[in-house]
Structure 1
Amino acid sequence: MRWDRCRCWSNCATMPAACWTAKREETALKRPSVLVIGYGNPGRLDDGLGPACAERIEALALPGVTVDADYQLTVEDAAAVAQHDYVVFADASLDARAPFVFAPVQPLAEITFTSHSLPPGAVLAFAHSMFDARVQAFALGIRGYRFNAFGERLSPGARRNLAAAVRFLAETIRFNRFAEYADPRQKPSTKEPRVVMGLTAADLN
């Protein structure tokens, strides 16, 4: 059997068919369309983690990725969500396991309007019902610590958590790893699902 040197970026010496890096690169070539929506108030310290995440992902200029940022989610976001294969709702979290949590979002079975702002599950439900879209959605909750003051800056801990979240999300997008975090048993729910997957910085190394 003839052994050809693998041509992946790691320049390893395994057969291409057996090289894990080559397989990941092949998967990355089949890029889906991804929408990243970061929401929150940058003027309230760590509440700006969502928009900050969106800004950093946009700076990476990843192929197939559209980025948006706003203070809150609204019904108008459903139209943009419906045009993509995957959507990630990035927001600050008061009590998530640091540095962040990442989990699938379910479309809400019942939507009650209490304000102009909507939760991710409601936006996803509108995308399904109004546009017949079958986009898969995920929530990225980045742990923050300081919210009860004004100022356009992040706390040191929030900045560290943001860096870890951006690294994780960028790799998930580059190698199209969303299926690894999707729950195939998810069904419409009457409430937002609890984010169940937490990663530490050590998990990313």
Structure 2
Amino acid sequence: MSAAPAAPPSVPPEPRFLPGVRAAPGPPSPMVPPEAPPRILVIGFGNPGRRDDGLGPALAAQLAARQLPGVTIESDYQLCLEHAELVARHESTLFVDAAIDVPGHAPFRLGPLETLDEVSCFSHQLSPQAVLHVAAQCFGARPHAWLLGVRAEDVDSFAEGLTSAAERNLAAALDAALAWIASAATTGQGSARP
């Protein structure tokens, strides 16, 4: 004798809302997020195993420790296609990387990025401009994006830990990143000065 098939689990009906009728208290609706999604994204990228090349992740870690509301912090060894979807979900993005081409003796350079018209995506590593291009092409997103390049002194050694000069540059770049975040939070665009 075979057992009768089990009845399918009952699924509660979708709630229906009428004008002027409030829903009963209960868990938040999965259709409405409990708070607005983060508007600002910071992606610190680089290899901490190559001394100052880890400046991007180091700055991202310092920002993450501050638990800034409305700000998503990411850290990775390099930028890749998956970052385009993340960028597309935010209004403003700050890319942070080590830089050996900072002019003069400045501790960092900060400037807006433009989306490239064409990009080669046959690599596991992308530039910030290429990530913006993929975000535009695949997701129709054109967020405001800036690059914060923190002056690096040693990116060739195979060792962890920043040089003392890079530590000083990181402190100055952190202040610049916080000012950029404050500007992005109020204007939606970010700027070199709040």
| Counterpart residue number, 2:41 | 35
| Counterpart residue number, 1:105 | 113
Q: TM-score, normalised by structure 1?
A: 0.70
Q: Over alpha carbons, which structure has the higher Rg?
A: 2
Q: Which residue, 165, 168, 173 being the options, matches 2:176?
A: 168
1:127-176: per-residue Cα shift (whole Å, max 9, x none)?
A: 11111112111101000001121111101110001011111111221243
Q: Counterpart of 1:87 in 2: which secondary structure?
A: strand
Cα–Cα, structure 1 residues 162 and 61, in superposed 2: closer, same or farther, change >3 Å? same
- The number of residues matched between the two structures is 154
Residue 48 of structure 1 aligns with an amino acid whose one-letter code is G
On the 8 A contact 1:32/1:86 being kept in 2, the answer is: no
| Counterpart residue number, 1:151 | 159
| Counterpart residue number, 1:21 | none
Q: Which residue, 83, 89, 102 being the options, matches 1:96?
A: 102
| Counterpart residue number, 1:58 | 64
Q: TM-score, normalised by structure 2?
A: 0.74
| Counterpart residue number, 2:74 | 68
Q: Which residue, 117, 124, 128 being the options, matches 2:132?
A: 124
Residue 131 of structure 2 aligns with an amino acid whose one-letter code is V
| Counterpart residue number, 1:26 | none
Cα–Cα, structure 1 residues 180 and 115, in superposed 2: closer, same or farther, change >3 Å? closer
Point out where structure 2 has 5 or more consecutive residues left out of the alignment: 1-36
Root-mean-square deviation over aligned CA pairs: 2.1
Q: Distance in 1 between matches of 2:190 and 2:83?
A: 25
Runs of 4+ in 1 over 6 A off after TM superposition: none
Q: Distance in 1 between matches of 2:71 and 2:43?
A: 11
Q: Which residue, 73, 93, 98 being the options, matches 1:87?
A: 93
Give the C-alpha shift of residue 96 in structure 1: 0.7
Cα–Cα, structure 1 residues 58 and 150, in superposed 2: closer, same or farther, change >3 Å? same
Identity in percent: 45
Q: Distance in 1 between matches of 2:121 and 2:133?
A: 13
Q: Counterpart of 2:137 in 1: which secondary structure?
A: helix
